[in-house]
Structure formats: C-alpha cells, structure tokens
C-alpha cells in the first residue's frame, strides 16, 4: 500500500506516524511545501516574545529525524499542484529546482491547514505588514523588529493569535495596539466575560480600539500609516490576525465536495467524497458537539485526533471522529482565559432553550496564600440542566476547571452530575467544594426554583419608581468601592432583624459582591413570603462590564 500525505504539522505528521505504527510495510510519502514538517505553531508568538529562547525547541521533527524513526519519505519544499483522482496520481512541484513530476497513490490524505486571511485593504502588501502561520513568518517578524528597530506595533484582530502576539510584542519591548472589528476581543467569549480581559490588557499597556477596523495602509517616513474606520495610527509593524480560511483549493479543484465556507466535507472516518482520499486538520468541516451543525474549528487538538483516525481507517481499523466543541485556552499576561462548547451569543442565534449562571470562585482555598478568584459563566439547557458551554477568566486553576466542564459538554453531563464529581482537594490546589461542584449546585438551585436570578444587563432597566425594592446586602465598607443607583443597603447579617423595613407586596431585587451572599438573602426573603431575585455574578461582574 502506498499512501501520500499532503501537508505536515499536527494532522499530516500525526497521520504519517500512526500509519507507520500500524503498517510497517506501507510506502508513505509526506509532501510539505514549506521547510518544516512538524513544528509547534502554537509556540511561534512565544519565541517572538523571547519566552521560548531556543528556536530549535519549536522544531518537533526534522525530515531527517522523521525518516530515521518512522521510515517515511519526507519531501519538503514540495508543493502538490494537482490531483488526478481517476488515475490516483498527484503532480508535485519541487520548489527548489522547479521540476514537476507525478506520484501515484493507493490512498491520499489531505492536511493542507488553514491560511491567514488577508483582507482586501489598500496597501496590505506594504513592507512591515505580516501574518503568522509558520516558522518562516516568525523569522521574518523577528528580523523586521531587529532591522527596523521597531518600537510600535498594531495588531488587526483580537483573536487568540492577535492577543498572544500583543503580549509577546510587549515582552519584546514594543508599544502595542489591538484593532478589533467587534465590541470585544476573543470571539468565543461573550462580551460580559471579555470585559475582564480588556481591563487586563489595558493594565499591561495594550491599547484597544474596539468596534473599529483597518481601512487602508500606506508607507510613512517613520514606518506605516494605518488608517482606521475611525481615526489613524502609525506603527513600525502591522500584524494581520483577523482569522483563517481553509486551504481547500486543491481539494475543490479536483472535484471533492466542500461547503460554502470552503471546508472539505468528510464523514466520521475523515473520508472525503472520494473513497481513496481522506482529509484532516484545519481545512475540514466538522460537526459542532452542541449544535450538531457544520463548523470550522482550526485547533491543534482536533487535527491530531483526525490524523490518527484517518490512518486507522486506511489500515482497516474502525475509528470515528464524532464532533468538535472548540475547547481552547489563552494566556493573556498573568490572566488565563478558557472556553468550551457554545457561548450565550451563539446559543441565542441557534434559539436554544438555555439559561446561564455566573460564579466567582477562588482557584484554591482562600486561606492558602496566593488565592485569586476566577470568573465563570456556564450555559446550560433548561429543564435537564445539561451543560452546553463554559467560559472562565482568572488565574490559577482555570485550566483544570474548564477541562472538567469540557468533559461535561462532551459526555452530555448535567448540573446534577457536576455536584457528584469527587475531585482532588488540598489547600494549594482547590477547595473542598470545588468551583465545578459549585457550578452544579448553582444550576440545580435555578432549575429547582430555589433561586430566581436576574442578570447584569437587566439592572439598569429595573424601575426606580418604588414599585420594586432594590437591595444591596454588602457591608458598608464595600459600598466605598461603588454602588448601583437606586439600591438601598441592608448588610446580609442585619437582614433578619430589619426585614420588616421591606414591604412584602413588592418584588425584591438583591445583590452583593459576587452573588453568594445575595443568594442567601434571597432564600431568607423567599422563606418570609417575599418574591426575591438574585443578581447572578453580583456587583463585581456588573461593575466590570459597566466600567469602560
């Protein structure tokens, strides 16, 4: 059996290694149009910022090492320019010599990846404008910073790559601005959860231009002039990070089925519309775990799994890729941002019957030094309480909590299942009631009618005409940090003694700092005949969103 693989990195290199482990006699040829078949593309920004000092640490396998270990014919600087499906043959151009030759196959795996989008902006090809996809792009950026003695950088796009580059260009000593077309950075987050990220970026010296975009680029005496939809900037370097598109031109040119976004259509075994051709990685269309609709999720984890699954099926094993949920994590200076599953904005677009809760929990026991809270938002299905998605912004412990919630989304777990999880606990690492357990309890309280929530976006529309009671149960000292207009203050510990001050005929909307004490207040009120509502996420979340 002869298998050709077009493209390396996560999907293609994984498929090649798995093929060899399953079939020692197969002839395997891997074509890569660049010079590197397996590199840590997620680590590229960190070499630019000097966090990863040794460039060679990013090169996971060289053609020579891959050949020695796996006996795979690796051909770098080799671009497959066409596929003849009828003849089961590809045409390959040697980019070093210019030679074009043919190569036959029994099975073919496409792993072309996704390319950075370069919008049609006047001047986008000017010197000093970059995208970041591979090692060569990284080298060019580093050389430009050195040669131009760059001091200022503008990043068009506030997604994962844009934010990572902002941090690392700051580490490299540059003054950095992010231009973001929408109202917030990091698209998988909802706006309310992104506000803490905005604050942290600004605290670390990154300027944000939200609801804005690059309209034109021109050369200036001191670098680049960047004309925005609203305003102008100048910079020594402009990074374009507005997203990626599937590199599916080769697939569509030979007649393979692709969707309207250019994603190569595959079945659960990673087989394309041609029985002898498989496709993996960022170029393929996958099924979203929550919505069950077609999606593009360009992440390394799914690409690795897909490469393995394609190899399994070529070698006769029954292996399937079911869906992708987009679990991802991002370092933003000292802050950690993690997401999984669906966010509220997407849930509304899909008209899902769901609700949300906010939690404010410490990463480990509050009495152990270094504990800092994390902000958690969970989307869940009304009725059963099935977990549909989660977003966490905080410091220590964000990763493991989001990983647990990612498992919950994958396995279809409910809030009740979360309460039953027995998780590792010691003061340096967690709490006896872990934040994930607490999320389960909070959702159960909502579903069981133990608490009625209201949310930050409803606060300002609450009537101030006396028809409802607005109650703040924080301590008098906490009021110095700010308060919400129209709310009277009765500290929680005084509420039972002063409950008669609140008229029973009026609904009571109550808040505290995080939502925990106000939940207790709402339970006291409800059991004394009041109609009470608790502000989920509390004053902290409200202030975070309203402070721009």
Helices 9-22 + 63-70 axis angle, to 10? 20
Token digits for 110?
């496409």
Token digits for 82?
């066409």
* Residue 512 bears catalytic tag: no
- Tell me the backbone φ, ψ of residue 374, rounded to 5 degrees: -120, 145
Rounded Cα–Cα distance for residues 105 and 6 (Å): 12
Q: Using CB atoms within 10 Å of the CB of residue 355, give its burial: 0 to 12 exposed, 13 to 18 middle, 19+ buried.
A: buried
CB 104 within 8 A of CB 92: no
Question: What 3-state DSSP class applies to 531?
Answer: coil
Rounded Cα–Cα distance for residues 322 and 337 (Å): 26
| Residue carrying structure tokens 């925990």 | 516
Helices 538-546 + 191-203 axis angle, to 10? 70
CB 45 within 8 A of CB 132: yes
Rounded Cα–Cα distance for residues 188 and 217 (Å): 28
Options 42, 195, 254, 512, the catalytic residue: 42
Token digits for 410?
């994958």
Question: What 3-state DSSP class applies to 108?
Answer: strand
Q: What is 333-382 written as a DSSP string? A: TTEEEEEEE--HHHHHHTT--EEEEEEEEESS-TTSTT--EEEEEEEEET
Rounded Cα–Cα distance for residues 155 and 148 (Å): 17
Q: Which of the residues are catalytic?
A: 42
């Amino acid at each position: 059996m002869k298998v050709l693989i077009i493209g390396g990195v996560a999907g293609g290199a994984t498929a090649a290694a798995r093929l060899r482990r399953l079939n020692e006699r197969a002839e395997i040829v891997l074509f890569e149009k660049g010079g590197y078949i397996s590199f840590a593309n997620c680590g590229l920004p960190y070499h630019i910022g000097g966090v990863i000092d040794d460039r060679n640490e990013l090169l996971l396998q060289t053609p020579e090492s891959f050949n020695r270990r796996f006996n795979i014919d690796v051909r770098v600087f080799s671009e497959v320019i066409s596929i003849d499906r009828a003849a089961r043959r590809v045409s390959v151009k040697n980019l070093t010599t210019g030679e074009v030759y043919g190569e036959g196959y029994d099975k073919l795996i496409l792993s072309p990846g996704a390319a950075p989008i370069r919008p049609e902006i006047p001047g986008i090809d000017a010197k000093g404008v970059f995208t970041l996809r591979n090692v060569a792009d990284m080298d060019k950026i580093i050389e430009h910073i050195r040669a131009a003695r760059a001091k200022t950088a503008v990043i068009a796009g506030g997604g994962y790559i844009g934010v990572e580059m902002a941090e690392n260009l700051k580490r490299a000593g540059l003054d950095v601005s992010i231009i973001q077309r929408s109202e917030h950075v990091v698209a998988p987050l909802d706006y309310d959860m992104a506000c803490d990220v905005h604050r942290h970026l600004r605290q670390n010296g990154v300027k944000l231009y939200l609801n804005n975009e690059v309209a034109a680029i021109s050369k200036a005496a001191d670098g680049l002039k960047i004309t925005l939809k609203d305003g102008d900037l100048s910079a020594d370097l402009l990074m374009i990070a507005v997203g990626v598109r599937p590199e599916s031109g080769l697939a569509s040119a030979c007649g393979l089925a692709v969707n309207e976004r250019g994603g190569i259509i595959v079945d659960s075994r990673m087989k394309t519309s041609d029985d002898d051709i498989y496709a993996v990685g960022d170029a393929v269309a996958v099924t979203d775990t929550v919505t069950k609709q077609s999606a593009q999720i360009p992440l390394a984890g799914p690409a690795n799994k897909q490469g393995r699954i394609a190899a399994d099926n070529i070698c006769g094993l029954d292996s399937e890729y079911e869906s992708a949920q987009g679990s991802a994590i991002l370092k933003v200076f000292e802050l950690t941002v993690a997401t999984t599953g669906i966010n509220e904005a997407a849930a509304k677009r899909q008209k899902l019957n769901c609700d949300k809760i906010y939690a404010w929990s410490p990463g480990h026991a509050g009495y152990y030094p270094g504990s800092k809270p994390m902000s958690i938002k969970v989307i869940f299905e009304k009725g059963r309480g099935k977990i549909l998605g989660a977003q966490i912004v905080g410091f220590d412990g964000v990763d493991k909590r989001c990983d647990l919630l990612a498992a919950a989304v994958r396995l279809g777990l409910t809030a009740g299942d979360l309460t039953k999880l027995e998780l590792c606990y010691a003061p340096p690492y967690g709490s006896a009631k872990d934040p994930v357990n607490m999320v389960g309890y909070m959702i159960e309280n909502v579903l069981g009618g133990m608490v009625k929530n209201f949310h930050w976006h409803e606060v300002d529309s609450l009537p101030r005409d006396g028809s409802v009671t607005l109650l703040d149960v924080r301590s008098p000292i906490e009021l110095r940090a700010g308060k919400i207009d129209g709310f009277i203050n009765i500290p929680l510990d005084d509420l039972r003694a002063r409950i008669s001050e609140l008229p029973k005929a009026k609904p009571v909307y109550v808040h505290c700092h995080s939502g925990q004490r106000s939940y207790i207040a709402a339970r006291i009120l409800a059991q004394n005949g009041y109609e009470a509502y608790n502000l989920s996420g509390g004053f902290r979340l409200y202030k975070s969103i309203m402070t721009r």
